[in-house]
Each structure stands twice: as C-alpha cells, then as structure tokens.
Amino acid sequence: MRFWLVLCCLAAGSSSFYVAEQDEFHFKSWMAQHNKAYNMKEYYLRLQVFSQNKKRIDKHNQGNHSFTMALNQFSDMTFSEFKEAFLWSEPQNCSATKGNYYGSNGPLPDSIDWRKKGNYITPVKNQGRCGSCWTFSTTGCLESVTAINKGKLVPLSEQQLVDCAQDFNNHGCNGGLPSQAFEYVMYNKGLMTEQDYPYKAVDGACKYKPSLAAAFVKNVMNISAYDEMGMVDAVATHNPVSLAFEVTSDFMQYSQGVYTSTACHNTTDKVNHAVLAVGYGEENGTPYWIVKNSWGPNWGMDGYFLIERGRNMCGLAACSAFPVV
C-alpha cells in the first residue's frame, strides 16, 4: 500500500507516475505473455524489479553494442535470484590442467554450423529451476557426437546425470561438469534416453536401468584450459564441444548479436554455466561462437546465443571437453 501512496504523491507534481504507469502496462502484458500470476505483495515487488530490468535493457540498447538485450522469461528476477535458481552456487573443479586433445594443425574453415550440416542437434531444451546446465551440455554434446558417428539422433537423459553421476564430483541441481559427466557415462557403460528417463528438474534417486542404455562413451577428450584454438579445431574437425563460462547480470536479458562483457572474468574459478558450442563464424570482423543454451527455445536467438571468440571471453575456454563414442 505504501507504494501506492508514493505514486499518488508523485502523480500530483511530476511525470514520474506516468513512467510507472507505462511500466505497469508493459509489466501486465509481459505477465500475460509469460503466464505469470502473483499475490498483491509479490506483484509490486516484481513490478519494481521488472522496471529496473527494463530500464537496463533500454539503456543498453541505446548504446553501441555488438548485442541487444530484451525482456524475456527472467525479467521479473534480480540477478542474485537468477543466480540462485539457475547457476552453479559454488565453483566446480574446472581446473587448468593439461588436456589430452591435440589439434589437427591443418587448415580450418572460417565458419561451421553443425545445425546446418545434417540432423545432428536436438531441439533446445529447458533446465527449469535447477543448476543442471552441465547435464544439458553433456547430453547435447553426446547426442551430436553419437549422431555424427552412428547416424542416429536420439535425445538423451539429463535426469540420469542429475540422479546418478555423484561419484564423479557432480552434484545434481547444485552443479557439475560435462567432462566429469562424460567420465560417468564411460564408467557407467551407458546413458538412457530422454524418453526412458525423463527430466524432472529436481534431485532424485538413481533409476538407471543398464538394459535401457542408449548412448555410450569410449573416451573423454579434455581440451587444455585456455586453448581456444583447440576448441576451434575440435569443432571444425570433429563435433560440437561442451564448454563452461561465467554468466554475469548482463547475460540474463541477452537477446541477439555477439555477446561480449567487461563484467565477467576469464579464470577457471568463476565459470558458473555449461553450454554447447555447435559452431563458429565471424560478423563485422568479430569472431564468435554459436552456442546452444538450455533456457528453452524462447530465450536469446531461438535458444542459442553468439559470444565473442578468440580471447577467452568470460572464461569460455577454461574447461571444454567432448566424448569419443
């Protein structure tokens, strides 16, 4: 109620009320679009957060940036709420150790997009409110490597990784690493399909059935930390690769274009989100990665984003890996 009093007083002598009213109009249509409902108290709190996010988006889009921001399903959340709900809460063991992938040293194409090379990439999935991005990065990569090498694209189970991969330093909805998840699938001798072990977005008991194993890993290739050229080589000559990077507040409302940030770090201990590089290219002289995210098909560019390539943006070259099938 206090909020209304403030608005009334402002309305008497300034144009601030008008702005708030417009924001409220936007908020209501955004709520309808995203099927949101709140109780009274929550409504005013979310309206305030929404206006702040909208202000930030408008300011960003008036500037000269290589990417734009837009309202999306996260626009009623502060970044700390977002972080809590979707990102790793503590650093994973994404160490700067020497990998076992050695590039081809051959000439590489200027661009590649595995989405266009054949039926190799499953539709964008949605992790929901669970820090399980690492399972989506893992399935996305294993799905494509299996499709490229065995000729069949089958959606694989994230929930099996959430429920069963703890022995390899993975922590379900609290985080994990694709490299460690590939190790799990290798030693477990199999990963079930999405259909047989569907996604629940919560930690549960392991219900793996060996008889239903559908995808397998023979070996895990880790790309040395900060060897971004090694990643380019792997994507050009083999398949998409899993990577992790640091999501900061300017990424939450990403809409399209090549993402770059001065807010994120380039170290291994700050990465908090795992995704899948499905290709790379260059736009107006800026090299970029094409990356599949797990925040649903309505986020970003149909669920994908572009991020600057070549200078370890947000630590993206800190811990990338892919499986051999």
The catalytic residues are: 133, 273, 293
Name which position in 146, 193, 222, 272 contacts ligand NAG (CB under 6 A).
222
51: left (phi over 0), alpha (psi -120 to 50) or beta: alpha
- Which residue's CB is nearer to ligand NAG, number 14 or number 89? 89
Q: Which is nearer to ligand NAG, 121 or 142 (CB)?
A: 142
Residue 128 host element (H or E): none
Q: How many residues bind ligand NAG (CB under 6 A)?
A: 15
Question: 296 and 191 in contact (C-beta within 8 Å)?
Answer: no
Judged by CB under 6 A, which stretch of 138-146, 196-204, 219-227, 236-244 contacts ligand NAG? 219-227
User: The tokens 């290739």 sit on which residue?
Assistant: 221
Q: How is residue 216 annotated by DSSP?
A: -
Contact 154, 191 (CB under 8 A): no
Residue whose CB is less far from ligand NAG, 171 or 292? 171
Examine residue 237 and tell whether it contacts ligand NAG (CB under 6 A).
Answer: no
CB atoms within 10 A of CB 260: 18
Residue 197 to residues 31, 139, 157: CA-CA distances in angstroms?
32, 13, 6
What pairs with residue 228 in β-bridges? none
Choices 26-34, 122-130, 174-182, 296-304; region in contact with ligand NAG by CB under 6 A: 174-182
The answer to whether 61 contacts ligand NAG (rule: CB under 6 A) is no
Span interacting with ligand NAG, options 86-94, 154-162, 204-212, 231-239, rule CB under 6 A: 86-94
| Separation of alpha carbons 246 and 252, rounded Å | 12
Are the CB atoms for 137 and 155 separated by under 8 Å?
no
- Based on the shown chain and the rule CB under 6 A, indicate whether residue 126 belongs to the binding site for ligand NAG: no
The three-point CA angle 128-132-133 to 5° equals: 90
Query: Which residues ranging from 260 to 289 are in contact with ligand NAG (CB under 6 A)?
Result: 266
When asked if residue 90 is in the footprint of ligand NAG (CB under 6 A), the reply is yes
Task: By CB under 6 A, tell whether 100 contacts ligand NAG.
Answer: yes
Residues of the shown chain interacting with ligand NAG in the complex, contacts defined by CB under 6 A: 64, 90, 92-93, 100, 169, 177, 179-180, 183, 220, 222, 226, 266, 312
